[in-house]
Structure 1
Amino acid sequence: MILAEILRLNSASRARAYAGEVLVLRQVPSALALCARFSLLLRGAGSTFDVDASETPFEQREDLCQTFELDEEVGVLFREVFREAGVEGGGTYWDRPRLRIQQSGCGVDDVANSKLFGHGKFSSTLPPHRDTWASNIMQQLNWWMPLEEIDEGRTMCFYPELFDRAVPNTSTGWDLDELRARRKRGLPYPQLPELDHEGVAKDPLVSELMRPKYVRPLVGVRPGDVVVFSGAHLHSSVVNTTGLTRYSCEIRSVDARDLRKGIGAPNVDGEAARVPLHWFRNVDNQKLKLTAA
């Protein structure tokens, strides 16, 4: 995957991301500190987590994810990543940090059932999807960071030829609020919209462009690098068979000014009924709104 190196995420670089470029900020000090903090949580005193095990019990993985995501220092460092990237806190909204633990040989997550993987919160190997099939917010940017070294066999990948081409999917009728309501009642619900495999099979061009020769794994990034891309990109996890675990973290952001101006990535195939703006909050814990603040 060709990466476009940037020094700051400003309106010009956001526009590049909305057009399909995958951006990278190199060796961000706070991202390096985030890696160090994660290593301490993973290997520090009292930790019993087997770093490269292939079948760690789910409860242990869930505990590590929750520890990382709720850690006060981790929260501070994520805010510092945004600041060092030149992002203004007041006009920028985000969801929450996520830790991904992808063990070797784990296969692809069953995203059709949110009762798995801690009600969908702790997924590790996601199938091809656009985040915007769920969020319906075309200004969404994904921030992705490897916490330890990665390689071509344990990373994520993109389908760049399908960035601006409609792909059959199950976003019609999917609803974030319904997902949350079902979780509370312990009922299954799709964790996220995914490919409509029957529809894809009937579309020769889409089927062709999903073949391995068109798929671009994310390589050339190291711990401390921050990758930023549009949530409208079709992307997935590379199925890990390396014998080593992939550790990465991510967060999503929305620039409120771009949202209100209608500046964003193209929506070529998203059909979710709602736009769940309340998914995102700013540094002052205010919910995202379409109206001016």
Structure 2
Amino acid sequence: MSAILVDPQLSEGACRDALYSGSTVMLKPQVASKKLCAFAWQMIQDAFYPLHPEQAQHELPVEKFAAIIAALKPKFTHSPESKQFLKELFEELGWDPAKTYFDVPKLRIVTHSSYLTSGMGYAYKAHRDVWYSAPPCQINWWTPINEIQERSAMVIHPRYFNREVPNNSSSFDAYKWNAEGRKNASLYVNNDPRNHPHLQENIDLDWQVLVGRPGSLMLFSAQQLHSTVPNDSGKTRFSIDFRTINEDDILAHRGARMVDASCTGTTLPDFIRSTDHARFAEDIVKTYEVGGRAEDGVLVFDPGA
């Protein structure tokens, strides 16, 4: 049974179990999450100066806007400060940092209307992260950087957590995505031909729209079907998301039950331990691989390549 759990008094293990069962967890802003958002907002302001970032799209041609965020997003993602704030967050919440691995935090920028919906500003259609080759114990974390409303929020479709839905995940390979899809994101401004897995049938989706204050945290399973509310708020939305996995659950192959993922490869090599940034050993990674390794694929995406 799924539920929205608001600031639950649960141990880390009990919280993970609730997420694997389809519940969504909402946490109030933490000291570390507020520091992470403040750090990101300062970078955003510097990048768009002298324009206000939320209104910059009304002043800039879309090509210029896309060029700004093409430099901004990796600068934030790969900064040592971003990684340090995540470690501090896990410690603050009582999650064991020595067993918590994370994928580097991503800056998401969702513009108003259809100004930019490709490449660095890709507007995600309804999808599960497990269609992107995520392990079943992956937990997604999402936080707004600035004030948002229900017209520019994240939406969960919990009715379909354990129900198979039509999708194109069979054509997605994690290692080819590293070699091509992630590498070429900044090239696409007016259209996006990349192979994004998504829902492929017009079904009656339930909408569980969750709105929080800057720095608040929304946690949900990678098995959860989710999407972005079409932004018609009149301003650009800025948010941060990242993903975690627990070492014990990886070794035990625990997590949510996957019902319709047909992708190949695995994103497990992307994750680093929060204490020392170590990655999982090759023999562990191979236990999660599906379909072998494509010759033209890349195991770990290198943003400097």
Q: Say yes or no: does 1:75 pair with 2:118.
A: no
* TM-aligned CA deviation for residue 46 of structure 1: 8.5
Residues 1:96 and 2:104 aligned together = yes
**What's the TM-score once normalised by structure 2's chain length?**
0.79
Distance in 2 between the 1:184 and 1:257 partners? 29
Q: What amino acid is the match of 1:250? A: D
Aligned equivalent of 2:151, options 150, 153, 174 = 153
Instruction: Give the structure 1 partner of residue 245 of structure 2.
Output: 254
Call closer, same or farther: CA 1:183–1:246 in 2, change over 3 Å.
closer
Whether the 8 Å CA contact 1:134–1:171 is kept in 2: the answer is yes
User: In the alignment, which of 224, 241, 247 is matched to residue 215 of structure 2?
Assistant: 224
Summarize the alignment of residues 24-63 of structure 1 with structure 2, pairs less than 5 Å apart. Answer: 24-44=26-46, 47-53=49-55, 54=57, 56=60, 57-63=65-71
Displacement of 1:7: 5.1
CA offset at residue 231 of structure 1?
0.9
1:154–1:242: 8 Å Cα contact kept in structure 2?
Answer: yes
Residues 1-58 of structure 1: CA deviation (Å, up to 9, x unaligned): 8343235661111000001111122120111112222232233598334322335420
Please state whether the residue corresponding to 2:131 is helix, strand or coil.
helix
Structure 1's 83 and 43: CA in aligned 2 closer, same or farther, altered over 3 A? same
Asked whether the 8 Å contact 1:142–1:250 carries over to 2, the reply is yes
1:173 equivalent among 147, 164, 171: 171
Question: Aligned with 1:43: secondary structure?
Answer: helix
- The correspondence for 2:233, drawn from 242, 246, 255, is 242
* Aligned equivalents of 2:171, 2:241: Cα separation in 1: 26
Q: Secondary structure at the match of 2:104?
A: coil
Describe the superposition over 1:141-196 as per-residue Cα deviations: whole angstroms up to 9, x where unpaired: 00111111111001110111111100111111310111222359869873531122
Shift in Å at residue 78 of structure 1? 1.9
- The answer to whether the 8 A contact 2:174-2:264 is kept is no
2:181, 2:194 within 8 Å by CA — same for their partners in 1? no
Determine if contact 2:4/2:26 at 8 Å carries over to the other structure: no
- Number of residue equivalences: 269
Q: Which runs of 5+ in 2 are unaligned?
A: 286-305
Aligned equivalents of 2:9, 2:72: Cα separation in 1: 32
- Could you tell me which amino acid in structure 2 is paired with residue 72 of structure 1? P
Counterpart Cα distance in 1 of 2:183 and 2:28? 43
Which of 102, 105, 108 does residue 113 from structure 2 map onto? 105
The alpha-carbon distance between structure 1 residues 173 and 103, as it changes in their structure 2 partners (threshold 3 A), is closer
Gaps of 5+ in 1: 110-115, 202-206
Root-mean-square deviation over aligned CA pairs: 2.6
Q: Which residue of 1 aligns with 2:198?
A: 194
Q: Is the 8 A contact 1:179 1:189 kept in 2?
A: no
Aligned match of 1:215 in 170, 192, 207? 207
Is the CA contact (8 Å cut-off) linking 1:3 and 1:24 kept in structure 2? yes
Q: Which amino acid aligns with 1:23?
A: V
Contact 1:95 1:253 in 2 (8 A): yes
